[in-house]
Structure formats: structure tokens, C-alpha cells
Amino acid sequence: MAASDPSPELDAMQVELAKLLQEEREISAKRRQMHARIDSFHGPLLVAEARRLSQERRELHLRIDRLRIDINLRTRP
């Protein structure tokens, strides 16, 4: 099979990438809202939750990057 041939595995990877990108948008929106709340009320629980969301977002970005690399390797001529 050539690297550019469509495959169920590649389709699944692209679906997963779309899901992860949507999840990243949702987490980023929550994080922005949380930072706006922190600006008006700097509570320790809110700050801890913002840190947790930031860590989750970083991990999600790593997963997205790895998946993009895998997709690019499989679709390269």
C-alpha cells in the first residue's frame, strides 16, 4: 500500500484529530473565562483549577502534535 492511499486507520486518526482540536477549543475557552475570573477574584482554588486546566491543555497540545506528525508521515508521497 502506498503512503498516500486512504485507509481506515488514517480516517480514524483524522477523526481523532478533529475530536482533540474541538476539545482543545473548549478547554481554551474555559481557561480564558477562568483567567477573567482570576483577574477580578484571585482565590487559591480558582488559581489551582486554572493551573490544572493549563496542564490539561498542554498535554492535549502534545497529543495533537503527535497525531499530526503521524498523519503527515502516512500521507507523504
Q: How far apart are CA 54 and CA 42, in angstroms?
A: 16
Q: What is the C-alpha to C-alpha distance for residues 75 and 4, in angstroms, rounded to an integer?
A: 5
The C-alpha cell at 50 is 486554572
How does pLDDT run across 15-66, given as a tens digit for each residue?
999 999 999 999 999 999 998 988 888 889 988 999 999 999 999 999 999 9
Full-model pTM: 0.80
Residue among 74, 59, 56, 70 at smallest CA distance from 17? 70
H-type alpha helices, 1-77: 8-40, 44-75
